[in-house]
Amino acid sequence: MVQQAAFNESPMPSEAQRKEWLMALRRMLLREKDALASAVSADFGNRSIDETLMSEILPSLHSIDYAVRNLRKWMKPSKRSVGKQFRPASARVVYQPVGVVGVIAPWNYPLFLSIGPLVSALAAGNRVMLKLSEATPKTSELLKVLLGQVFPEDLVAVILGEAETGIAFSQIPFDHLLFTGATSVGRHVMRAASENLTPVTLELGGKSPAIISVTVPMDQATERLAYGKVMNSGQTCVAPDYVLVPRQRLGDFVRSYQDVVSRFYPTLEDNPDYTAIVNDRHFERLTGYLRDAEDKGAQLVPLFPKHQGRRMAHCLILNPSDDMKVMQEEIFGPLLPVIPYDGIEEALAYVRERPRPLALYYFGHDRGEQECVLARSHSGGVCMNDTLMHVAQDDMPFGGIGPSGMGHYHGHEGFLTLSHAKSVFSKGGLNTSKLAYPPYGTTMQKFVKWLYFR
């Protein structure tokens, strides 16, 4: 592997070299932001340019800035204590690049979910092979060209290709493999990586719940919840997948949610702000969920009269049941099941009975209930009175738990994930350990007694 040979030639890039890589990436993103946003829109059949700049380019730039600002501190060896029986000696942990990192990026945020892992890998001093999604070909092809202009291929190599290419990619003996995508595919990636004992970070998804409290102002909650759902037309791994609403507030929720979405998008037709579903296959999958839910007794509340092409009308789904596909699969689209509950314990029990999600959202200002939600649920991350925004915090780790993923990246955690924390124990000329060398006798027994039994 060309990258492995290059890494062996330079196994510990300096702080200055890593910052140079990151700043070169930053300059490219800033220079090409409009071209990249246009390519994403073309791939989706329409995606707001502003949405791409805000949700992909801006957080990518922020993650670079954060890494550059903190890199010296991250790279500094960590001093550790030495047990008294081993003194005089010193101990430290040195953070060393793992080597060649493989990154498999998804289609839903083709820039941010490519650049984010790339930033972590370069900050940690690694070489990177980046497999881009075939579902967004224009973006993938442009990003390959642009990254090729910034980095030599033995530092950052971009791989294009269909599903079979992705399968072959996951079988390469990387020093670390980071995958973002569906849980079902994540199982195959982990299985392939296990053949090479390749460590994996899996950023998956699942059904992220939102809980509306009894007392929160409804307009406040629905505005923030709807923003998290309409962003990218729900094609977001941390989008609210279903919402639990107090039974007595169900009608208020539906009316308020309709009002908010209508304010965000006064019309669906030719609206440049309204993102389309990425391709026909996913559009048919989502319309199939709607047919299945309606056939099984759900009440559909479409928020627009009809779809326009692949601009899919946002829809609330009332009275959903567990046998509906929309409640069994991650939705990844502008459909929102609404489930009534009687008491916060019932809502939390509903969440706990299901696979652990990537995100959980709670809307309410009662501190006691907030703490109850945190203590009695498991999820990759949590937002209180907001959606999505925890992902954009560079100083917090991002990752799932159980079926929603394993491992973390972003910020310092990304640096740590893609570094080897190498323990270094050092001694000088004086060696007290020789008291423990054979042949054993009285001196050894006295030494052990002094250490442990005094």
Active site positions, annotated: 203, 237
Q: What is the DSSP string of 206-224?
A: ---EEEE-SSS-HHHHHHH
CB 121 within 8 A of CB 24: no
Q: Where are the alpha helices (DSSP H) in 134-217?
A: 137-150, 163-170, 183-194
* 359-363 vs 156-159, strand pairing mode: unpaired
Rama region for 410: left / alpha / beta (φ>0; ψ in -120 to 50; rest): left
Dihedrals phi, psi of 374, to nearest 5 degrees: -65, -40
- The size of the chain, in residues, is 454
Element of type H or E holding 40: helix 15-44
Cα 90 versus chain centre, distance? 37
What Å distances lie between residue 72 and 17, 124, 394, CA to CA? 12, 11, 16
* Residue 140, token pair as written in the block: 């993938």
DSSP state string for 226-278 = HHHHHGGGG--TTS--EEEEEGGGHHHHHHHHHHHHHHH-S--TT-TTSPPPS
Q: Which pair of tokens denotes residue 46?
A: 């329409």
